[in-house]
C-alpha cells in the first residue's frame, strides 16, 4: 500500500475534525497541487504542513501522530534501529556532512527516511559516550611517564608569548599569543623585514592602526596594540576561534552560507564608508 492509499484509508475511518483536516491537507499536497498550493488553499503556512507531515512520516504514517495532545505517538519507536545508527555515523564521519545532508543522503542512497531532529539526537548521544579512541588517550595519559620540562615558549617583546602559528601570508605571520599585560589571548599579526624598518613604513602602519582602532563593528575583530621589536612590526587584535570559512561552507546549506556572506559584506561596506580598503 502506497502513501496515498494509506492516507485515503485513514481519512475514510477518521472522525476527528482536526485530524481529518491534516489528512486532507496531506492528500491535496501529495496528489496534484503541491505543498505551497495546498497551504494557500487551506490558509495554512508551509511550516504548519511540514511540522505535522514530519511527525506523521516519522511515526510510520500512524494517525496517532496527528493528535495535538501527544508530543510523540505512543507506538513511535523511541529506539533507532542499528541500521540507521550505522548509516548516520557513517555519513557523519565524512568531512562536511551536516545533519541536513545526512538526511538527504539517507533518503536518496539508502531509502531511509528519518527527520533531521532524529539525526541530531543520534549524534548528540554518540558525543556523550566516550569512544574507544578517547578511552585509549585517557589510558595513555594516565600511564604516560613524566617528561622533562619543555623549552620556554618564544616571546615578542616583553608583552607577548607566542603560543602557536595560526596562518601566514605573503608579508607576514599570524600567531595565537598570550598578552601578559592584559592577561588575554590575542591574534598577533607580524611583519618581519631583513633590513632596518623604514620610518615611513612605521608611520604609515601606525596611521592605519589608529584608524582601525577607532572603528567598531559587530563583524570586525577589535584591534588592541601596535608595536615594533627590532625588525619586526606587529599589531594585536581580538582572537576569534572558529573554522576555516571554505571548510565550513562545504558542509553548510545555502541559507547559512548566504547569512555569513551578508555579515562579511556588511563589514566591508562599513570599512569602505570609513575610508579603509
Q: Which residue has the higher pLDDT, 244 or 177?
A: 177
**One domain, residues 228 and 166:** yes
For the entire predicted model, the pTM comes to 0.44
Q: Is residue 71 part of a domain?
A: no
Q: Is residue 144 part of a domain?
A: no
Please check the confidence at residue 121 and state whether its pLDDT lies above 70. yes
- Long-range Cβ contacts of 209-218 (<8 Å, 24+ apart): 209/235, 211/274, 211/275, 211/276, 212/276, 215/270, 215/271, 215/274, 215/276, 217/266, 217/267, 217/270
Report residue 148's pLDDT band, with 50, 70 and 90 as the boundaries: low
Domain count, the chain: 4
Q: Is residue 45 part of a domain?
A: yes
Q: Is residue 208 part of a domain?
A: yes
**One domain, residues 226 and 257:** no
Cell of 187: 591574534
**One domain, residues 234 and 171:** yes
* Mean pLDDT rounded to a whole number for the chain: 78
Q: Taking a C-beta distance cutoff of 8 angstroms, is the pair 213, 235 a contact? A: no
**One domain, residues 58 and 7:** yes
**What average pLDDT does range 147-176 have in this prediction?**
79
Please check the confidence at residue 211 and state whether its pLDDT lies above 80. yes
Report residue 165's pLDDT band, with 50, 70 and 90 as the boundaries: confident
Question: pLDDT per residue over 33-87, tens digit each?
Answer: 688 888 888 888 888 888 888 888 888 888 888 887 545 544 444 567 778 888 8
**One domain, residues 194 and 260:** no
**One domain, residues 207 and 251:** no
Judged by DSSP in three states, 226 sits in strand
Domain that holds residue 263: 243-277
**One domain, residues 43 and 115:** no
**One domain, residues 166 and 100:** no
Q: How many C-beta atoms surround the C-beta of residue 26 within 10 A? A: 24
Report residue 144's pLDDT band, with 50, 70 and 90 as the boundaries: low
Q: Is residue 15 part of a domain?
A: yes
- Would you report the helix, strand and coil content of the chain in percent, each value rounded to 5? 50, 15, 35
Q: Is residue 133 part of a domain?
A: no
- Long-range Cβ contacts of 35-42 (<8 Å, 24+ apart): none
**One domain, residues 188 and 248:** no
**One domain, residues 225 and 165:** yes
Closest C-alpha to 99, from 81, 118, 116: 116
Amino acid at each position: 500500500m502506497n502513501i496515498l492509499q494509506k492516507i485515503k484509508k485513514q481519512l475514510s475511518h477518521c472522525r476527528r475534525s482536526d485530524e481529518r483536516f491534516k489528512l486532507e491537507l496531506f492528500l491535496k499536497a501529495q496528489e496534484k497541487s503541491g505543498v505551497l498550493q495546498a497551504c494557500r488553499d487551506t490558509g495554512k503556512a508551509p511550516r504548519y504542513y511540514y511540522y505535522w507531515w514530519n511527525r506523521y512520516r516519522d511515526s510510520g504514517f500512524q494517525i496517532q501522530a496527528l493528535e495535538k495532545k501527544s508530543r510523540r505517538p505512543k507506538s513511535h519507536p523511541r529506539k533507532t534501529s542499528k541500521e540507521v545508527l550505522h548509516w548516520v555515523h557513517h555519513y557523519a564521519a565524512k568531512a562536511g556532512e551536516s545533519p541536513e545532508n545526512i538526511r538527504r543522503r539517507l533518503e536518496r542512497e539508502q531509502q531511509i527516511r528519518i527527520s533531521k531532529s532524529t539525526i541530531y539526537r543520534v549524534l548528540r548521544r554518540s558525543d556523550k559516550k566516550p569512544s574507544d579512541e578517547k578511552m585509549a588517550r585517557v589510558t595513555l595519559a594516565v600511564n604516560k611517564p613524566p617528561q622533562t620540562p619543555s623549552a620556554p615558549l618564544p616571546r615578542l617583546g616583553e608583552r607577548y608569548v607566542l603560543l602557536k602559528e595560526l596562518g601566514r601570508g605573503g608579508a607576514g605571520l599570524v600567531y595565537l599569543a598570550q598578552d601578559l599585560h592584559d592577561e588575554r589571548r590575542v591574534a598577533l599579526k607580524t611583519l618581519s623585514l631583513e633590513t632596518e624598518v623604514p620610518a615611513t613604513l612605521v608611520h604609515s602602519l601606525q596611521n592605519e592602526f589608529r584608524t582601525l582602532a577607532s572603528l567598531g563593528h559587530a563583524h570586525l575583530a577589535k584591534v588592541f596594540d601596535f608595536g615594533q621589536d627590532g625588525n619586526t612590526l606587529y599589531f594585536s587584535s581580538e582572537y576569534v576561534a572558529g573554522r576555516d570559512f571554505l571548510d565550513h561552507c562545504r558542509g553548510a546549506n545555502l541559507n547559512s552560507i548566504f547569512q555569513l556572506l551578508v555579515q562579511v559584506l556588511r563589514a566591508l561596506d562599513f570599512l569602505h564608508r570609513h575610508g579603509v580598503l
